[in-house]
A and B are shown apart, each in its own frame.
Chain A
């Protein structure tokens, strides 16, 4: 190993080779370089070809086969993304690419830059009814706090990861691990997270979550009470009572309004927990990773003894979870004790139906970032005008060609679904901060009006002639074409 290095040599830790990289040079892989003393990923610059027809590639991005023949395509068919474009940080200089193209007779400009986001994070929506951990508890990666548990939503648990406080406000290793976790998630990779006093999960964008080693297959069809409502008619006459076990609201057929209306006979079934309205129970057990997001593995533990006043021998009882993944069928013996029996054929169908109606459980990853000062300065000399133009929907914001949702209110704070972006669209700098692509597309006239760097505008054709370090991908079939004029707002 060499002993003396020039002062601005950086050591790359992207792989175990641990290259020392001099300023202006790349490492052994040619993918990481030292740009002005910062370790930066230098992947090829991504250009998007407009998908020929909607719904063609189910695989979102197809690499073009063979060498690109260098043919210049019609302006509106190629969109220059910011992926691999480079960044202007921290200098107030024009964005690396300001590209003009004519679309349906209108001159459009796309300002393309990779932004360095210290203010950024991801919002995770994890489709599961299992209890992942108490709200507000820390979410950790490799032992370091990287985020927290936020609200539970319908059939899902939300986590908020990253943010400036984890990135730069904690210890050095907290920042590093947070950055690493965000990067992996944004690039579609799987990460392992643990929640204080909660579960250990493995999640990746667009894939089913794995909770405590168990892969989630399906979302629940509804809460327990909703499930009763949906299936009451199918159960009527085939079974005397049904309990749909759910951590949120456990439903009981014979007491539920749906059962009453059908004329289901009272069974006097008594459930642990707090009764909300007839046939609807809160807190039948502790939250957990058992039946319907509770901690129970034996459903009988939530039942109190049956009483002779209402119940009768041979009473048929179905207990099922909100996803249909767990179910048990019982008949009462002469002493009114439930005895487990094989699920009768007619009920199998309804349990199957619950399962069928559950959508695949996924993890969704939305990247959220704020486009701050120097990034906007790369677009215009008068940054607030860009914010204003974005708010007025004159400027469309995309990330690697994917539509971004812009938060109302001040600043340019946006969210984007990472699965709609080309793969490996994100990078990082050791600050630590994430590097994300961002493109601003607007009419050329409007660009001049907001004080844009008009002297730096280059026609698309010129850019396409520089074949080096460019890679062409087919745009995501579900994304609106970023250059299409008046394609509505910037929302997806």
Chain B
């Protein structure tokens, strides 16, 4: 039976929690109390119809995106398609690769349209749309494994940086991955772009046909997965350092290419405790990976 959407404030009284089916958003806005409440109300209003809107064209969103394929109609679906379109000639990708980031972005847009906010974020299970005005900034911690959270790096985004979206993808996450990255975190101009790019880069962090990697057709786990018979990663045995480096190299090449095409700003790749950072040009230490946590991992 259809469960109604959950709209509630978290117990800290500051953050808004919106939940509907597989969508789970944590939202926080800063600004005047009046602006915050207007923004939260706008977020909730936009939220209640978003899942139904997406589900109305789910079969299309789950099918492979191609240059000439049918465009989805819904505004969020449209955003999803636009985010995956740059990749659709090179690899198998569906609009679903950008669903989380696109939802976060759409909700954030409804908030900033309703009120003047200093800063705000909409976190959709790790895919985050952010808003920064004037001299405001966000400090963000990165986690490599959702099942045993420990920070492997941190970064700071200021209003001047061309970054308004953060996304993370990996085989341990909720969505399927074709690669072996524990986590690939991407910073991009918007959340939908970051989401699609993180999926693509995480798929590229790979060791094809490696016997230590367990892969299962997506359909066998989730019968209606958009990935169909593609074999998704379900387990990775401890790998020797040379192989970890090889996988990271492969992912880094993909990330650099996306950076050069202007699709992402920067990215951090993580496999079994080893991290690679792809920085923007000119090179800057945008993402700082703390040595201490690397040793721990």
Contact = CB atoms under 8 A, between A and B. Distances in A.
Contacts of B59: 1
Contact of B11 (A62, A180, A468): A62
A59 interface: yes
Interface stretch (A10-18, A101-109, A163-171, A365-373): A10-18
Query: In this complex, which of B10, B149, B222, B224 has the most chain A Cβ atoms within 10 angstroms of its Cβ?
Result: B224
A27 interface: yes
Interface string B4-29: 10000011100000001110100000
Contacts of A25: 221-222
A189 interface: yes
A30 interface: yes
Interface residues of A, number: 33
B52 A468 contact: no
A67 B174 CA distance: 19
Interface in B152-183: 174
Interface residues of B, number: 25
A131 interface: no
Interface in A1-21: 1-2, 5-6, 9, 13-21
Contact of B1 (A1, A2, A180): A180
A183 B1 contact: yes
B70 interface: no
A9 B223 contact: yes
Interface in B52-67: 52, 55, 58-59
Contacts of B1: 13-14, 176, 179-180, 183, 428
Contacts of A230: none
B79 to A, nearest CB: 18
A480 to B, nearest CB: 23
A15 B54 CA distance: 12
Given A17-B58, A63-B10, A2 B219 contact: yes
Nearest to A28: B22
A22 interface: yes
A28 B21 contact: yes
Contacts of B20: 15
Nearest to B6: A424
Contacts of A30: 22, 174
Nearest to A424: B6
A19 B224 contact: yes
Nearest to B3: A14
A183 B174 CA distance: 27
Contact of B224 (A1, A67, A189, A428): A1
B209 interface: no
A16 B2 contact: yes
Contacts of B147: 468
A5 B52 contact: no
Contacts of A180: 1
Contact of A189 (B4, B12, B22): B4
A29 B2 contact: no
B12 A16 contact: no
B51 interface: yes
A18 B24 CA distance: 17
Interface string B211-231: 000000001111110000000
Nearest to A15: B21
Contacts of A18: 55
A65 interface: yes
Nearest to B220: A22
Contact of B21 (A5, A16, A21): A16
Contacts of B10: 63
B11 A2 contact: no
11 contacts: A1-B59, A15-B3, A15-B22, A15-B51, A16-B52, A17-B22, A19-B224, A27-B22, A28-B21, A28-B222, A62-B11
For the complex of A and B, 6 pairs with smallest distance between CB atoms: A15-B21, A16-B55, A20-B223, A28-B22, A29-B22, A180-B1
Given A2-B223, A14-B1, A19-B224, 5 more contacts: A5-B223, A17-B58, A59-B11, A62-B11, A63-B10
